[in-house]
Amino acid sequence: MRYLQPLPKKFKGLGLVAAALLAVCAFFAVFGHSGVLHLWRLDQQQSELESAAYSLAMRNQRLRDHLGRLENDDHYLERLARERLKWIKPGEVVYRVQTRASAVPAQ
Protein backbone atom coordinates (compact mmCIF):
# COMPACT_ATOMS: atom_id res chain seq x y z
CA MET A 1 0.00 0.00 0.00
CA ARG A 2 1.30 3.38 -0.98
CA TYR A 3 0.39 6.43 1.00
CA LEU A 4 2.17 9.09 -1.08
CA GLN A 5 1.98 9.59 -4.77
CA PRO A 6 5.31 9.95 -6.62
CA LEU A 7 6.40 13.53 -7.29
CA PRO A 8 5.89 14.88 -10.78
CA LYS A 9 9.06 15.47 -12.81
CA LYS A 10 8.83 19.27 -12.53
CA PHE A 11 9.05 19.02 -8.72
CA LYS A 12 12.03 16.65 -8.90
CA GLY A 13 13.99 19.30 -10.82
CA LEU A 14 12.96 21.91 -8.26
CA GLY A 15 14.22 19.63 -5.48
CA LEU A 16 17.60 19.29 -7.21
CA VAL A 17 17.86 23.07 -7.61
CA ALA A 18 16.95 23.55 -3.93
CA ALA A 19 19.55 20.98 -2.87
CA ALA A 20 22.23 22.66 -5.02
CA LEU A 21 21.32 26.07 -3.57
CA LEU A 22 21.51 24.64 -0.07
CA ALA A 23 24.95 23.15 -0.84
CA VAL A 24 26.21 26.51 -2.14
CA CYS A 25 24.90 28.29 0.95
CA ALA A 26 26.55 25.73 3.22
CA PHE A 27 29.85 26.14 1.33
CA PHE A 28 29.81 29.91 1.80
CA ALA A 29 28.76 29.56 5.44
CA VAL A 30 31.91 27.55 6.10
CA PHE A 31 34.49 29.01 3.69
CA GLY A 32 33.12 32.48 2.94
CA HIS A 33 34.38 35.88 4.10
CA SER A 34 32.40 35.70 7.34
CA GLY A 35 32.34 31.94 7.48
CA VAL A 36 33.08 29.58 10.31
CA LEU A 37 36.76 29.19 9.37
CA HIS A 38 37.25 32.94 9.32
CA LEU A 39 35.61 33.25 12.74
CA TRP A 40 37.81 30.44 14.06
CA ARG A 41 40.97 32.24 12.82
CA LEU A 42 39.78 35.48 14.42
CA ASP A 43 39.19 33.65 17.70
CA GLN A 44 42.72 32.22 17.58
CA GLN A 45 44.16 35.66 16.85
CA GLN A 46 42.18 37.20 19.70
CA SER A 47 43.49 34.57 22.13
CA GLU A 48 47.08 35.29 21.08
CA LEU A 49 46.59 39.03 21.44
CA GLU A 50 45.00 38.63 24.86
CA SER A 51 47.90 36.54 26.11
CA ALA A 52 50.38 39.09 24.72
CA ALA A 53 48.45 41.92 26.38
CA TYR A 54 48.45 40.04 29.69
CA SER A 55 52.20 39.43 29.59
CA LEU A 56 52.80 43.10 28.75
CA ALA A 57 50.55 44.17 31.62
CA MET A 58 52.50 41.93 34.01
CA ARG A 59 55.81 43.35 32.73
CA ASN A 60 54.49 46.90 33.19
CA GLN A 61 53.49 46.05 36.74
CA ARG A 62 56.97 44.66 37.51
CA LEU A 63 58.56 47.80 36.05
CA ARG A 64 56.24 50.05 38.10
CA ASP A 65 57.18 48.12 41.23
CA HIS A 66 60.87 48.45 40.36
CA LEU A 67 60.53 52.21 39.81
CA GLY A 68 58.60 52.60 43.05
CA ARG A 69 61.30 50.78 44.97
CA LEU A 70 64.03 52.85 43.29
CA GLU A 71 62.26 56.04 44.38
CA ASN A 72 61.37 55.01 47.92
CA ASP A 73 63.60 52.14 49.10
CA ASP A 74 67.19 53.21 49.80
CA HIS A 75 68.31 49.70 50.75
CA TYR A 76 67.07 48.36 47.41
CA LEU A 77 68.82 51.14 45.51
CA GLU A 78 72.06 50.50 47.41
CA ARG A 79 71.88 46.77 46.76
CA LEU A 80 71.35 47.32 43.01
CA ALA A 81 74.23 49.76 42.80
CA ARG A 82 76.54 47.41 44.67
CA GLU A 83 75.59 44.43 42.48
CA ARG A 84 75.68 46.17 39.11
CA LEU A 85 78.50 48.64 39.60
CA LYS A 86 80.61 46.48 41.94
CA TRP A 87 80.75 49.27 44.50
CA ILE A 88 82.11 48.67 48.00
CA LYS A 89 81.70 50.68 51.17
CA PRO A 90 84.71 52.32 52.79
CA GLY A 91 86.35 49.87 55.19
CA GLU A 92 84.97 46.75 53.47
CA VAL A 93 87.33 44.03 52.34
CA VAL A 94 86.68 42.41 48.97
CA TYR A 95 87.76 38.83 48.43
CA ARG A 96 88.16 37.59 44.87
CA VAL A 97 88.11 33.83 44.43
CA GLN A 98 89.67 32.20 41.42
CA THR A 99 88.27 28.96 40.09
CA ARG A 100 90.54 26.03 39.36
CA ALA A 101 90.22 26.45 35.59
CA SER A 102 91.59 30.02 35.74
CA ALA A 103 94.27 29.09 38.32
CA VAL A 104 95.84 26.43 36.08
CA PRO A 105 98.34 27.98 33.61
CA ALA A 106 97.59 27.42 29.93
CA GLN A 107 100.12 25.39 27.97
**What ranges do the domains of the chain cover?**
10-86
Helix or strand or coil: residue 106? coil
Q: Read out DSSP for 52-102?
A: HHHHHHHHHHHHHHHHHHHHH-HHHHHHHHHHHH----TT--------HHH
- From the CB of residue 52, how many other CB atoms can be counted at a distance below 10 Å? 10
- On the question of pLDDT at 67 being above 60, the answer is yes
Cβ contacts of 87 within 8 Å, gap of 6 or more: 81
**For the segment 32-63, what is each residue's pLDDT rounded down to a tens digit?**
778 888 888 899 999 999 999 999 999 999 99
